[in-house]
Amino acid sequence: MKRAEKIFIDYLRENGLKVTKERLMLLDELFNTEEHLDADSLLFRMRSQKRRVSRATVYRTLDLLVQCGLARKMRLGKENYVYEKVVPGRSHHHMICTVTGKIMEFWDSEVDDRLRQLCQEKGFRPTYFSISVYGLSQDADGER
Amino acid sequence: MKRAEKIFIDYLRENGLKVTKERLMLLDELFNTEEHLDADSLLFRMRSQKRRVSRATVYRTLDLLVQCGLARKMRLGKENYVYEKVVPGRSHHHMICTVTGKIMEFWDSEVDDRLRQLCQEKGFRPTYFSISVYGLSQDADGER
DNA sequence: GTAAGTGCAAAGTGTTTGCATGGAA
DNA sequence: TTCCATGCAAACACTTTGCACTTAC
């Protein structure tokens, strides 16, 4: 069994919740994509594989995945929420191209360390940092 | 006339738009508050001063203010958009307390410089950085 | 006088919820 | 057999839009 699946199942059992095929299918789908997904894209991906779930279940399951730490829920400048799997040791930030919509991930310990230091100076206890850099990716230049 | 008002009026004239009392009142109100406002709070502040405008006009005017660079539109983890005035030389990021909802501003050239450098390495041309640090502010500790 | 702005209410959007039915434990 | 989960549709919260009337220019 995959690591994430174990975490999810343990979480469900510990909380008196049920392990359903819908929940496992959604977990699987989220972890099989590298991209950031919104609820609708996830729903569409499920349907294109004939793994039928309702939109409500998608939202409810994504919530659970966030609660047990397997997913992250964000807004990246769009109107809707996007979700991404959480992989330990793979924390990262985003560069978002305002022309193509493309999202690049990056991470840098120097930035994170400095932010942590600033928090300490202000007496703020950080849970997590969300950095979104908006601008133009290389491939967008031609399209302007 | 205040700097922001001049910018706004110039922008309107240049674009064949009209300078209305509603638009000026809203600009004034936004620039008279230090906080981040959502459309409804702004509407409420206007009403409490008997400066009557409709909700639609609030949204439409905030849009204009964003377009002419006098306001910034963001999501800070909440469901709705918040707006803040843009004051030159006062760019900043946010620390958001997940318990009290309190928002602190901060700015640090070291972080910004490092981010700019990272962008350059990736061939990304940044327009702006949005950093949201979520966590607990000092006054939230007692409430847990 | 004319084009643009306003307020209102209706329509949109993305997300959440109530309820009857279905399914895991 | 007992709750919990699901699917559906209705409800929601916030934002945008169409339209008749008003106002800046």
pLDDT of residue A144: 41
B116 pLDDT higher than 90: yes
pLDDT of residue A101: 77
Average the pLDDT over B59-75 and give the result. Answer: 95
pLDDT of residue A94: 92
pLDDT of residue A100: 78
Of B101 and A45, more confident: A45
Contact in structure between A71 and A37 (CB atoms under 8 Å): no
Name A113's Cβ contacts closer than 8 Å, sequence gap at least 6: none
| A139 interfacial to chain B (CB closer than 8 Å) | no
Residue A91: its H or E element: none
Q: What confidence tier does B142 reach under pLDDT thresholds 50, 70, 90?
A: low
Residues 18-37 (B) with a CB less than 8 A from some CB of A: none
Q: Provide the residue range defining the domain that includes A30.
A: 2-85
B85, B101, B131 — which closes off a domain? B85
pLDDT tens per residue across span A79-137? 789 999 999 888 899 998 877 778 899 999 999 999 999 999 999 999 889 999 988 98
Which of B127, B134, B138 has its CB closest to that of A130?
B134
How high does pLDDT run on average in chain A? 91
Contact in structure between B37 and B43 (CB atoms under 8 Å): no
User: Do residue B66 and residue B128 come from a single domain?
Assistant: no
Q: Which residue of B has its CA nearest to A73?
A: B77
CA distance B132 to chain A (A): 5
Q: What confidence tier does B141 reach under pLDDT thresholds 50, 70, 90?
A: low
Average the pLDDT over B110-131 and give the result. Answer: 94
User: Do residue A60 and residue A102 come from a single domain?
Assistant: no
Q: What does residue B123 show for φ and ψ, rounded to 5 degrees?
A: 70, 30
Chain mean position to CA A28: 14
Alpha carbons B128 and B116: distance in angstroms, whole number = 10
Report the CATH number at residue B19: 1.10.10.10
Would you say the C-beta of A36 is within 7 Å of strand D?
A: no
Q: What does residue A125 show for φ and ψ, rounded to 5 degrees?
A: -100, 100
Measure A56 CA to D10 C1' (Å): 13
Number of domains in chain B: 2
pLDDT tens per residue across span B19-61? 999 999 999 999 999 888 999 999 999 999 999 999 999 999 9
Pairs of CB atoms within 8 A across A/B: 103
pLDDT of residue B144: 41
Q: Which residue of B has its CA nearest to A129?
A: B133
User: Do residue A72 and residue A38 come from a single domain?
Assistant: yes
Report the CATH number at residue B118: 3.30.1490.190
Measure A80 CA to D10 C1' (Å): 21
Chain mean position to CA B86: 6
